[in-house]
């Protein structure tokens, strides 16, 4: 049988309590060039999942402490891992396969395990999972391209100190909504001087939060219009665009703040 070259260094976690089965699995997997760790029960398996990175799990269903279903459920729900899991069972006829699927197992095999079939399933699942991961990264990248804020500059200035970054973001979140409000009311009241000043105050924060310089130009255009008679009619659409970008940046920075809080609490 051909060993696929692009699939190498697969790290397998085998969960089985019977020493003979453990030895058998290890021999087969190492024959295929995979590396493998053994967990004697579900509890150990979960601990090992937390400590190491694996590409796939072969999970015997009848294991002590925490059984295969419970362990899988924990890996999916609590560890939030999408790692492929193959259920290994003594007798397919006595096991509820629907339950296997529902709990988040990807495949099942009965003992005695057929070597070739096992190899194909492992390679297939690992490849599929890698593809899904790549797709997610691409999707995330595409999303980030549509973001209006970019914290590169802020990270540079604060040397990525999460405390300072949080402080800066909090100040922006506090300061921006009242400025937007002032901008809108002063337009309605035709208080051009006030409109000018409120828009003026937004400009420095825009560049600090990495908001496109287009909006800075827009703010300057509004300032320019406020100073000239008869041009005020053109301001409204500019104000609406400014409001949109302020609202969007507000939402984005709220998420960034949460991310910083999470990474902080993890430390």
Partner 1 sequence: MKNKVKLFLVDDDAVFLKLLSIEFQNAGDFEITTFPTGELCLANLDLGPDVIILDYYLDGIQRDAMNGIVTLDEIKKTLPEVPVIMLSSQDSIAVAIECMHHKATDYVIKSETAFMRLMKVISDIFSVKKLEKQLDWYIDFV
Site for partner 1, rule CB under 8 A: 153, 157-159, 164, 167-168, 171-172, 174-175, 178-179, 182, 194, 197-198, 200-201, 203-205, 207-209, 223
- 235 within 8 A of 226, measured Cβ to Cβ: yes
d(CA 22, CA 1): 23
Output 78 or 264, the one with its CB closest to partner 1: 264
Output 24 or 203, the one with its CB closest to partner 1: 203
To the nearest whole angstrom, how small is the minimum distance from the Cβ of residue 245 to partner 1?
15
Helix (H), strand (E) at residue 36: strand 35-39
d(CA 232, CA 223): 10
**Strand partners for 85:** 57
Output 113 or 260, the one with its CB closest to partner 1: 260
d(CA 205, CA 215): 11
To the nearest whole angstrom, how small is the minimum distance from the Cβ of residue 184 to partner 1?
15
DSSP character at residue 2: P
The CA-atom distances, in angstroms, between 116 and each of 22, 85, 86, 88 are 18, 17, 15, 15
To the nearest whole angstrom, how small is the minimum distance from the Cβ of residue 167 to partner 1?
6
d(CA 71, CA 77): 10
To the nearest whole angstrom, how small is the minimum distance from the Cβ of residue 240 to partner 1?
21
Output 21 or 205, the one with its CB closest to partner 1: 205
Output 111 or 200, the one with its CB closest to partner 1: 200
To the nearest whole angstrom, how small is the minimum distance from the Cβ of residue 223 to partner 1?
7
To the nearest whole angstrom, how small is the minimum distance from the Cβ of residue 243 to partner 1?
17
Output 101 or 193, the one with its CB closest to partner 1: 193
To the nearest whole angstrom, how small is the minimum distance from the Cβ of residue 144 to partner 1?
21
End-to-end distance of the chain based on CA atoms, in angstroms?
47
At CA 130, angle to CA 141 and CA 140, rounded to 5? 15
Sign for the pseudo-dihedral over CA of 143, 236, 169, 214: positive
Output 30 or 214, the one with its CB closest to partner 1: 214
Q: For every residue of 10-26, which 3-state class applies, written as one string? A: CEEEEECCCHHHHHHHH
Classify burial at 163, counting beta carbons within 10 Å of its beta carbon; exposed 0-12, middle 13-18, buried 19 or more: exposed
């Amino acid at each position: 049988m051909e060993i696929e070259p692009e699939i190498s260094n697969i790290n397998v976690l085998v969960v089985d309590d019977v020493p003979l089965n453990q030895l058998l699995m290890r021999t087969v997997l190492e024959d295929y060039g995979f590396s493998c760790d053994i967990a004697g029960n579900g509890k150990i398996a979960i601990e090992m999942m937390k400590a190491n990175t694996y590409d796939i799990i072969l999970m015997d269903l009848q294991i002590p402490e925490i059984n295969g279903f419970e362990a899988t459920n924990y890996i999916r729900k609590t560890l939030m891992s999408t790692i492929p899991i193959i259920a290994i069972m003594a007798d397919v006829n006595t096991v509820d396969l629907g339950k296997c699927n529902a709990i988040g197992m990807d495949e099942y095999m009965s003992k005695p395990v057929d070597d070739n079939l096992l190899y194909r399933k492992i390679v297939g699942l690992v490849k599929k999972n890698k593809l899904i991961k790549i797709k997610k990264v691409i999707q995330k990248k595409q999303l980030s391209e549509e973001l209006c804020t970019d914290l590169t500059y802020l990270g540079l200035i604060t040397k990525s100190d999460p405390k300072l970054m949080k402080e800066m973001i909090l100040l922006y979140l506090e300061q921006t909504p009242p400025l937007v409000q002032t901008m809108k009311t002063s337009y309605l009241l035709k208080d051009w001087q006030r409109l000018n000043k409120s828009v003026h105050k937004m400009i420095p924060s825009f560049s600090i939060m990495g908001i496109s310089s287009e909006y800075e130009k827009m703010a300057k255009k509004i300032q320019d219009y406020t100073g000239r008679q008869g041009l005020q009619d053109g301001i409204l659409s500019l104000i609406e665009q400014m409001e949109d970008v302020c609202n969007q940046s507000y939402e984005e920075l709220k998420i960034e703040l949460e991310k910083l809080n999470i990474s902080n609490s993890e430390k």
